[in-house]
Amino acid sequence: MLPELKFAHIKAKLPIIQGGMAVRVATCRLAAAVANEGAIGVIAGTGLSVQRLREEIQRARKMTSGYLGVNVLFAASQFAQLVKTAMVEKIDFIVSGAGFSRDIFAWGKELNVPVLSMVASARVARLAEKLGAAAVVVEGKEAGGHLGTDRSVFELLPEVLEAVEIPVIAAGGIMNGEDIAKALGMGANGVQMATRFVASEECEANVKFKEKYLHSMPEDSVLIDSPVGLPGRAIRNQFTERLKNGERLETRECRNCLKNCSHRFCILDALEKAVDGDVENGLVFSGEFFHRIKEILPVRKIIEQLVSEYEQYRCKRSGTQ
């Protein structure tokens, strides 16, 4: 049996956190569906207006009584407003990455909302624990979206586990029950899975976006230089090829979505295009092992498969059937 995941006031039946994928990939419908299965759902706040995030949280609360979090990119210009809005709405926890905020811990303490920090090193994990993080999510190079390291999660995990006493969540390339078993077997308290939940019926991304995951090849996992100032992992398409060729993709109108931006292209526009179905001229962020996904399924079926795969792997390792 999969163990529970406990941190702060949270005691989830399954040690699985659904990753907060922006823009508009991880919405209330997906997060609530995951929470309803005993795992933990996460709404991506990055790229949303304050009012839209408030509405997403309120809608999700009507869909589930399970645990819900909100993920906000530290690099987002509205980082503080979005985080505080989620906290005021009494979200169960906040998780943040692509940079490190010290202020977020004070806000969390003031509003009694736990904070999880995305980390890519033992040093940052120790700092997060010192400042009051309820848990850390150690994310390896296998993850989709913005990356803070070129090292595997399974290489980083032992170092982070040794560095902190708070719960540690493994993220990046976790795709099936065997991956979950491996992470937990190394000492992780849980896992975060994002890419695996894109190909779900409850994910509100355009079907062409989901099918891009199903029909691309393993070698189509590529790294791009994001305007955020970090590398990003995506699926190869016309857009990433233009970036590779050194083209500067001009933006018609800057929406000031980032605190600091290289202006090589508009990441908000690129992500919105892709999630709306233009998967050749938009940016399709994805974890490295997206090709392991074979079909679009309901969240309930995905969770059932993960639990079954975990148990089968454990039985195989123990020599029982």
The CATH number covering residue 37 comes to 3.20.20.70
Does one domain contain both 181 and 224?
Answer: no
Rg (CA), the chain: 18
Same domain, yes or no: 98 and 239: no
Average pLDDT over residues 140-147: 97
Do 53 and 181 fall within a single domain? yes
Residues 216 and 83 in one domain: no
Q: What is the mean pLDDT of residues 96-119?
A: 94
The tens digit of pLDDT for each residue in 174-208 reads: 999 999 999 999 999 999 999 999 999 999 999 99
Q: Is residue 321 part of a domain?
A: no
Domain that holds residue 146: 5-204+294-315
Could you tell me the end-to-end alpha-carbon distance of the chain, in angstroms, rounded to an integer? 14
Q: Beta partners for 42?
A: 69
Same domain membership, residue 305 and residue 261: no
* 277 and 307 inside one domain: no
| 74/91 same-domain check | yes
Reply yes or no on whether the pLDDT at 321 is more than 60. Answer: no
Task: State mean pLDDT over 114-143.
Answer: 98
Six-digit token string for 258: 């980032």
pLDDT tens, residue by residue, 37-60: 999 999 999 999 999 999 999 999
Q: What is the pTM of this model?
A: 0.96
Segment 171-176 mean pLDDT? 98
**Residues 114 and 80 occupy one common structural domain:** yes
Q: How many domains does the chain have?
A: 2
Q: Is residue 320 included in any domain, yes or no?
A: no
| pLDDT at site 320 | 55
Examine the domain organization and report whether 286 and 298 are in the same domain.
no
pLDDT surpasses 90 at 318: no
Regarding whether 186 and 150 lie in a shared domain, the answer is yes
Type of residue numbered 29: R
Residues 166 and 245 in one domain: no
Q: Are residues 50 and 169 in the same domain?
A: yes
Provide the token pair at 158: 């032992």
CB-based burial of residue 27 (10 Å sphere; 0-12 exposed, 13-18 middle, 19+ buried)? Answer: buried
